[in-house]
Amino acid sequence: MKSNKNIIYFIIGLIFIMLFYQYFLPFDTKIKSTTLSEVATQIKEGKVEKIQVEGSKIIAELKDGTKLETYKESSANLSDYGIDINNVAVSVNDPNKGALWLNLLSIFLPVILIGFFLFMILKSSQGANMRAMSFGKSTARLFRGVKKVTFKDVAGAKESKEELIEVVQFLKNPEKFKAIGAEIPKGVLLAGPPGTGKTLLAKAVAGEAGVPFFSISASEFVEMFVGVGAARVRDLFLKAKKNAPAILFIDELDAVGRQRGTGLGGSHDEREQTLNQILVEMDGFETDEKVIVIASTNRPDVLDPALLRPGRFDRRVMMGLPDKNDRLEILKIHTQNKKMKKNINLDHIAAVTIGFSGADLRNLANEAAICAARNNKTTIDNLDFNHAIEKIALGPERKSRVITEKERKITAYHEAGHAVVSHYLENTDDVHKISIISRGMAMGYTWTRPIEDKYLHSEEKFKDEICALLAGRVTEEMVFKSVSTGASNDLREATKIAKNMVTIYGMSEKIGLVSLGERDEMVFLGRELAEHKIHSEKVAGIVDAEISRIISDAKKRSLLILKKNLKSLKKVAEALLKHETLEGSEFAKLVS
């Protein structure tokens, strides 16, 4: 396309140059235009060397070299004007002769140009055809023998790594497994939350396996044209088989591997065809074909069951959020090439970053380095890490946001309410920091933080959490006798917890131990609608009533605690208004 443009510019330039020559060059600067009688006088005086007649145009060349130009009626003779042609040399040019090539050009140029443009158009549409023909080719990238990422670069995730190391062994040394009669696995599905290192692990496999590694993102299967996805899958598997033993990596498999027949969610047939093709190809492997498919997804729950049956992705590797030791290892990897102060306690940082994924931790190390650089430090210190943790956990500070004194006061009491109620409840996390400085969307924040990784949550904990979430709003009601919009997020969170308690965790007596299995994500609206039909309107009504009951119980409890500890509440709120931010220890002193 670009070269086409260049040619067009070239042609336009050429036309301009030609026009320039045609119009400007004949104007000899020495030529003066004058009257016919002037020329006649000059001739009479014998000053003229020669004259040239070109149709009606007369150019007289004087003996001193200057040229005069004038016009006569084209039918008239020179003698009609009193010019004696015996006194001077006269040459007559055919006026049309010189312009002949120009005339020809003016006839043919448009034809040539039109022809040229037609040619270009034809050519470019042919190019599009060519591109359409190659749509069916997969866009997978082949990594052969690039040894960039290795298992060493993936911290933690020990079990997942072991599974994959085994897969690599299969490929490197298939005889050992075949001798016993073990079949080579066909597919490995890496499943886990975003940022837990699924793609990284797959890259490590590529680095370690020493066999061709084809990588493609599932979304690349799907194009504007129906049928492309299936064709690409076919092509991809063909390529892999040709290069066997090989590994084929499909990233974000859920883009095409969603459960079929869910209706909504943009399921035009294309995705299903692509998925079907994947299923067919995975079945089609002959038993001794050494192609292993690795796929990653963060929604294994929405994948089509057909993908997960033995013989396809029969191995599932779960990648969980890292625990404390894993976080420490990940931090070590990502702080390796950063200049760190000696006294930095990575162990402590790993301990307080509960809930951070590998990607978060990498981001944390980077944010800390940026923070240090911004403050013109040469090494990263603990302060930078604290800043970075807060930024990632709570969003960036917005100190410049202008709020009125009244808003400030409301915010202070709102946050103090959260903190005080959290403090007096048994099952909530410790208050780590309170602030009335805006962060992200929030006007202020109360940051509570668990002390250790927890995998099971009790009903009491959920109830207490709801209590603490409602406390901000309850405080506003109690202190100011009016309510603001500031609590909308709290209410949403509280409702979500209450809903999960009722519908997923079986924590409501009225509903009982029934899982109503709702997934609250928009994408799965289709399935959710279908699911809703399974439960009667009556059950839905009870669910709603139960949620309201849990919320209003929590509200009552919250109010009780606040009334009992009004003094503490006031102290904390006043301190917040004065200092804007309170650390956990300062808060503990105020309420003890």
Contact residues for Zn ion, defined by CB under 5 A: 472, 490
Q: Smallest gap, in angstroms, from Cβ of residue 439 to Zn ion?
A: 12
Q: Smallest gap, in angstroms, from Cβ of residue 274 to Mg ion?
A: 19
The helix/strand/coil state of 264 is coil
Q: Smallest gap, in angstroms, from Cβ of residue 149 to ligand ADP?
A: 9
Closest CA to 371 of 401, 346, 345, 341: 341
The helix/strand/coil state of 581 is strand
In whole angstroms, what is the distance from residue 235 CA to residue 179 CA? 32
Compute how many other C-beta atoms are within 10 angstroms of the C-beta atom of residue 108.
Answer: 11
DSSP for 132-153 reads HHHTTS--PEEE-S-----GGG
Which of Mg ion, ligand ADP, Zn ion, none sits in contact with 156, Cβ below 5 to 8 A by type? ligand ADP
Compute how many other C-beta atoms are within 10 angstroms of the C-beta atom of residue 184.
Answer: 18
Neighbouring residues of 465: CB distance < 8 A, sequence distance ≥ 6: 427, 428, 494, 497
Closest CA to 439 of 398, 385, 384: 398
Which of Mg ion, Zn ion, ligand ADP, none sits in contact with 490, Cβ below 5 to 8 A by type? Zn ion
In whole angstroms, what is the distance from residue 296 CA to residue 196 CA? 11
Q: Smallest gap, in angstroms, from Cβ of residue 538 to Mg ion?
A: 43
Q: Does 333 bind ligand ADP (CB under 6 A)?
A: yes
Nearer to Zn ion among residue 528 and residue 580 (C-beta): 580
The verdict on whether 415 is a catalytic residue reads yes
Q: Does 36 bind ligand ADP (CB under 6 A)?
A: no
Q: Smallest gap, in angstroms, from Cβ of residue 440 to Zn ion?
A: 13
Q: Where are the alpha helices (DSSP H) in 313-457?
A: 324-335, 346-352, 358-374, 382-394, 405-424
The interface mask with ligand ADP, positions 198-227, x = CB under 6 A, is xxx---------------------------
Q: Where are the alpha helices (DSSP H) in 135-223?
A: 158-172, 174-180, 198-209
Nearer to ligand ADP among residue 70 and residue 196 (C-beta): 196
**387 assigned binding-site residue:** no
In whole angstroms, what is the distance from residue 423 CA to residue 221 CA? 52
Token look-up 């402590």 returns: 348
**46 assigned binding-site residue:** no
Helix (H) or strand (E) holding 287: none
Q: Is the dihedral of CA 273, 277, 278, 280 positive or negative?
A: positive
Residues 259-318 that bind ligand ADP (CB under 6 A): 296
Nearer to ligand ADP among residue 196 and residue 508 (C-beta): 196
Nearer to ligand ADP among residue 320 and residue 584 (C-beta): 320
Q: Does 368 bind ligand ADP (CB under 6 A)?
A: no
Q: Which amino acid is at 535?
A: H
In whole angstroms, what is the distance from residue 19 CA to residue 14 CA? 9
Residues 138-157 that bind ligand ADP (CB under 6 A): 154-157
Residue nearest to ligand ADP (CB): 358
In whole angstroms, what is the distance from residue 414 CA to residue 488 CA? 12
Angle at 59 between CA 56 and CA 61, to 5 degrees: 160
The helix/strand/coil state of 58 is strand
Nearer to ligand ADP among residue 288 and residue 347 (C-beta): 347
Structure tokens at 280: 């067919």
Measure Cα distances from 383 to 380, 449, 587 in Å.
8, 18, 20
**450 assigned binding-site residue:** no
Which of Zn ion, Mg ion, ligand ADP, none sits in contact with 472, Cβ below 5 to 8 A by type? Zn ion
Residue nearest to Mg ion (CB): 199
| Strands 291-297 and 187-191, bridge-based pairing | parallel
Q: Smallest gap, in angstroms, from Cβ of residue 213 to ligand ADP?
A: 15
Q: Does 330 bind ligand ADP (CB under 6 A)?
A: yes
Q: Of 98, 194, 355, 440, which one interacts with ligand ADP (CB under 6 A)?
A: 194
Give phi and psi for 60, each to the nearest 5.
Answer: -105, 125
In whole angstroms, what is the distance from residue 554 CA to residue 1 CA? 66
Q: Smallest gap, in angstroms, from Cβ of residue 574 to ligand ADP?
A: 43
Which of Zn ion, ligand ADP, Mg ion, none sits in contact with 362, Cβ below 5 to 8 A by type? ligand ADP
Which of Zn ion, ligand ADP, Mg ion, none sits in contact with 195, Cβ below 5 to 8 A by type? ligand ADP
Q: Does 470 bind ligand ADP (CB under 6 A)?
A: no
**195 assigned binding-site residue:** yes
Interface positions with Mg ion (CB under 5 A) = 199
How many residues touch ligand ADP (CB under 6 A)?
Answer: 17
Residues 61, 329, 415, 465: which is the catalytic one? 415
Nearer to ligand ADP among residue 191 and residue 470 (C-beta): 191
23-31, 191-199, 210-218, 530-538 -> range binding ligand ADP (CB under 6 A)? 191-199
User: Residue positions in the annotated binding site?
Assistant: 192-199, 414, 418, 490
Catalytic residues: 415
User: Residue positions in the annotated binding site for Zn(2+)?
Assistant: 414, 418, 490
Question: Which residues of the shown chain bind ligand ADP in the complex (CB under 6 A)?
Answer: 154-157, 194-200, 296, 330, 333, 358-359, 362
